Amino acid sequence: MSAPARALELAGASVLVFEDAASACRHAADRIAGVIRDAVGLRGKAVLGLATGGTPIPIYDRLVALYQAGELSFADVSTYNLDEYYPIHPSDPNSYRAYMHRHLFGRVDIAPNRAHVLDGTVPDSFADAHAAEFDRWIAADGGLDLQLLGIGRNGHIGFNEPTNLPLETALNLPTRLVDLHPVTVADAAKDFGGESRVVPRALTVGVAPILAARSILILALGAGKAEAVTRALTGPMTPSLPASLLQSAPGRVTWMLDAAAARGLG
Ligand code: PGA
């Protein structure tokens, strides 16, 4: 496995910088495979929080390759995805349920009742109840061994968007229904065929359950993420840049970056 070009400690996090995106993703997949093997060895099961978007696709491809080579099994793995558009049907190709089926669930030996994605079809009046139930499922499963994250250009994690809430309130945000931020809508426009067609709301795992994970692995690739990465790692902890809230979990967060995303780190 290609070693990181640089390893830094910043804001209580371990920051690994790789020469390119492919090396970062290979390293991330191997870290996830290691967490699965360790947790299954110790407790008989592994519990993962998973992410969608462009960034994790090569990570899922490598996890599938390890499965196909007989080096990794998902038979004792439970997964909880970070977010889902709302409302959306699972068969909609833009749903994150469909994404996860395409990139991972449909290609490995995970049990259907262990691969959890927030449900974009629940009635409006029960969306908050469903979100709260998702947090209870994670807790009942023993909590997350690892939470995989991407970062938005606006610094969001999951669909926890920038907010003016007081810090304590932001750190305690539960899983819930949210409105998407304009930057998030702009970035999703290519998938939906135009900004006006982007589903404007989503269910997202909250800041509190993300921070409760036993380990957090956050990937950022490309120059478009450099500003958010720099602010999250060198700026103050602020709800206006949700990824900076990871500073409240010192010793449990690893950032994996390519050189372009790391260019503001000096
Ligand atoms: P991306 O999204 O992987 O498609 O860049 C990351 C995010 O918005 O969290």
233-256 average pLDDT score: 98
Catalytic position from the list 27, 103, 116, 156: 156
Report whether pLDDT(1) > 60: no
154 is catalytic: yes
Residue with tokens 């450099």: 226
Identify any residues that bridge with 79 across adjacent strands, giving them in sequence order.
Answer: 48, 115
Mean of pLDDT over the chain: 98
Report whether pLDDT(152) > 60: yes
Atom of ligand 1 nearest to the CA of 225: 5
Report CA(44)–ligand 1 centroid distance (Å).
31
Local confidence band at 3 (pLDDT 50, 70, 90 cut-offs)? confident
d(CA 248, CA 188) in angstroms, rounded, equals 29
Residue 250 Cβ < 6 Å to ligand 1: no
Q: Is the pTM higher than 0.75?
A: yes
Q: Which domains does the chain have, with CATH numbers?
A: 6-265 (3.40.50.1360)
Report whether pLDDT(2) > 80: no
Atom of ligand 1 nearest to the CA of 149: 9
Report whether pLDDT(11) > 90: yes
pLDDT digits (tens, 9 = 90+) for 42-64: 999 999 999 999 999 999 999 99
Residue 53 Cβ < 6 Å to ligand 1: yes
Number of H helices, E strands in the chain: 8, 11
Report whether pLDDT(117) > 90: yes
Q: In the prediction, which pLDDT does 200 show?
A: 97
Q: In the prediction, which pLDDT does 266 show?
A: 80
Q: In the prediction, which pLDDT does 153 show?
A: 97
| Residue of 103, 147, 187, 210 best suited for mutating to test ligand 1, as the one with most atoms within 8 Å of CB | 187
Residue 242 Cβ < 6 Å to ligand 1: no
Catalytic position from the list 84, 119, 145, 161: 161
CA distances from 144 to 136, 140, 194, 210, 218 (A): 12, 10, 35, 9, 14
